[in-house]
Amino acid sequence: MGCEQSGKTCLLQGNEAIVEGALAAGCRFFAGYPITPASEIAELMSMRLPEVGGAFIQMEDEIAGIGAVIGASLAGVKSLTATSGPGFSLMQENLGFACITETPCVIVNVMRGGPSTGLPTSPAQGDVMQARWGTHGTHPIIVLSVSSVIDSFEVTIHAFNISEKYRIPVILLSDEVVAHTRESITIPDKSEFEVVNRIRPGVPPEWFHPYEDNSRGVPPMAAFGDGYRHHITGLVHDVHGYPTQRPDEIDAFQRRQFRKITNGFSEIQMTRSVMLDDADIAVIAYGSVSRSALRAIKMARERGIKAGLLHLTTLFPFPRRIVDPVLRKCRAVLVPEMNLGQISREVKRVNLSAKVEKLNRLDGQLITPEEIFEKLLTL
Amino acid sequence: MTEKTIAESARLRHEYLRHDKKFPHVWCPGCGIGIILGSLIRAVDRLGLNKDKLVLASGIGCSGRLPVYVDFNTIHTTHGRALTFATGIKLANPALNVITVMGDGDATAIGGNHFIHAARRNINLTAIIINNQIYGMTGGQYSPTTPYGSLSATSTYGHIEHAFSISDLAITAGASYVAKGTVYHVPALDKLITGGIEKEGFSVIEIMSNCHTQYGRRNKMPDPVTMMKWFRDQAVSVTKAAKMAPDELAEKFIIGVLADRDKPSYTTEYQHIRDRALKVAKNE
């Protein structure tokens, strides 16, 4: 169970790799509620966190899970929760609180078929737009996806790093296939990956303004107990953290939220290009479907079709600067998804000239390489 | 007020209220919440708690606005969820003293699930519940503690639901310390809050408070004084109640320490879990 030693090769499932990634990133708090197909994350966390001086708690529901996670983060501890569709819906209210208070935290949603109880043990990608727009109000958010066990480890570390650096909740989308597929993984040594921690205030407490703007747009963050007594509220607040109704302060606050993310686009937007250099047909895919897509473009290449893959790790902010040249260069783009077209809409928003085709499955089954290959033949 | 009490009050204001926060506060003139804020500050002062290590968390509603005025680590969370945030804060840093302030609707309607489970877990938090028997901030809709037959903005023909007792709920759910007070019985309230903060484990202090604006106005108690007199007349101390027959107590409520029992708190138990996990990890 688990794979705590670096350098050791283990056979892990995606959910377990998320736990190892989180621990490697310095996560020391987990609160959540059991739900298929995400429960293994909670189970392993309950074992591993007390070993490393962290804390695990199973709460009464997902609302409480994310509440405790935000609380722990405000107390200075990197925090994680994990759930699936129905639980993710319950978290949306407090997710908004994490956004407006700029509290770093990572929320894993292992997607299953929906809506409602849907298909608890089958994969889907139906929560992409919920991840982006699920909570209320105007807000930026970061949504990452994982496609394999090694991805589950590495992207979880990125998720924490970005969350800490930009003071923003990060949604990590997995799916039932990635979560339960076992693959071998060698946990890298600490020296092989970067761990980012939030910047703490360096000024004396009396000079500290918890929401003061700076060139990065990310104010240093004090933890409760650090001696920087301050106020946190879900109301729109001024630089002191106190509620404000002043239009100029409200506008500046809201716009800073977006500016800080825009500043970091180049590192936030993670994608992987495979055989795209000479491609005239591209597949844009994410999650477990990107695995099928990789196989499909190889099959197409064997047939002499110049196909390539753009694998998206970052779904939001949508990596349009990377998608745009692919669309300019390729005559057709295929977006296979286990929904009726959520990321394909984003691709179409960027699109200028290429034909954007969809390939969708809603039956709880993974899209196969053959299906993508067959579709590529028609483009 | 004597010179000494004026000086003492000035000292407490200087020491515990935020100087950079704009007053006046949001509450109606005569609101009971100000009295509770005073009691809380005196309790904290009496216990000599370090402000840097004190967290005050609230939910939404009139009670939710209390933390912003005091110079602690303060957090105004979402409706009903204060205890969930407080749980995370306490577990992440058990050295912090964490107090939550909630309203009756906040703690027992939308937050009812969190409330009973925080009590069951016996997590080392202090929950101050301001029971004014109504949703005040949103305009006087009925809450889980609005008495049967009362008028409210959403029970204009009379309330047909029965109120439940927050204190009894807390006792049943497993809180270590449960007390009930009113904004009329202030010296007693200071002691109840002090006792709650001092107690290891989950403490609940339910405080009957006046919302003459939204509750009293509709129910023949349109001003703070009338409501205060009602609290005075309805409240019976624990010791006195012990000598009274059940039918004599029918229309009354009991104030004082209602439960005070010792059992290990969640954070203490969790430290044992850490020790056990470390031992297992070492042996592997």
- Strand, helix or coil at A210? coil
- Enclosing H/E stretch for A124: none
Tokens representing residue B213 in the block = 């604006």
Distance from CA of A317 to the nearest CA of B (A): 26
Digit-coded pLDDT (tens) for A300-332: 999 999 999 999 999 999 999 999 999 999 999
Subunit contact A229:B73, Cβ cutoff 8 A: yes
> Would you list the DSSP string of A53-96?
T-EEEE-SSHHHHHHHHHHHHHTT--EEEEE-HHHHHHHHHHHH
Digit-coded pLDDT (tens) for A191-221: 999 999 999 999 999 999 999 999 999 999 9
- Tell whether the model's pLDDT for residue B68 goes beyond 60: yes
Q: Which residues of A touch B52 (CB under 8 A)?
A: 225-227, 229
- Tell whether the model's pLDDT for residue A347 goes beyond 70: yes
Q: Which CATH architecture has domain A9-192?
A: 3-Layer(aba) Sandwich (3.40)
User: Can A9-192 and A272-376 be said to share one CATH topology?
Assistant: yes
In the prediction, which pLDDT does B272 show? Answer: 97
Q: What is the DSSP letter of A166?
A: H
Query: Over chain B, what is the mean pLDDT?
Result: 96
- Choose the mutation target among A97, A206, A233, A237 for the interface with B, i.e. most B CBs under 10 Å: A233
Provide the domain count of chain B. Answer: 1
- B53 φ, ψ (degrees, to nearest 5): -105, 10
Digit-coded pLDDT (tens) for B164-220: 999 999 999 999 999 999 999 999 999 999 999 999 999 999 999 999 999 999 999
Q: Pick B84's closest partner by Cβ from A29, A68, A79.
A: A68
- Choose the mutation target among A8, A51, A100 for the interface with B, i.e. most B CBs under 10 Å: A51
CA-nearest residue to A68 within chain B is B88
Judged by a CB distance cut-off of 8 A, whether residue B67 touches chain A is yes
**Distance (Å, whole) CA B173 – CA B211:** 27
In the prediction, which pLDDT does A184 show? Answer: 96
With a CB cutoff of 8 Å and minimum separation 6, the contacts of A180 are A13, A14, A15, A37
**Distance (Å, whole) CA A197 – CA A208:** 19
Restricting to A residues 57-96, those with a Cβ less than 8 Å away from any Cβ of B are: 57, 59-61, 63-77, 79, 93-94
Judged by a CB distance cut-off of 8 A, whether residue B17 touches chain A is no
**Residue A45 · residue A80 · CB < 8 Å:** yes
Share of chain A above pLDDT 70, in %: 99
- Tell whether the model's pLDDT for residue A2 goes beyond 70: no
On the CB side of A94, CA atoms within 13 Å amount to 30
The CATH number assigned to the domain holding B39 equals 3.40.50.970
Judged by a CB distance cut-off of 8 A, whether residue B22 touches chain A is yes
Q: Pick B92's closest partner by Cβ from A60, A76, A229.
A: A76
> What is the domain range of residue B211?
3-283
- Tell whether the model's pLDDT for residue A6 goes beyond 90: no
Digit-coded pLDDT (tens) for A127-148: 999 999 999 999 999 999 999 9
Query: Over chain A, what is the mean pLDDT?
Result: 96
In the prediction, which pLDDT does A4 show? Answer: 66
Subunit contact B68:A227, Cβ cutoff 8 A: no
ipTM of predicted complex: 0.97
Reported CATH class of domain A272-376: alpha beta
Q: Pick B78's closest partner by Cβ from A59, A93, A224.
A: A93
User: For tokens 């290990």, what's the residue?
Assistant: B264
With a CB cutoff of 8 Å and minimum separation 6, the contacts of B79 are B59, B60, B61, B64, B106, B110, B111
Q: In chain A, where are the structural domains located?
A: 9-192, 272-376
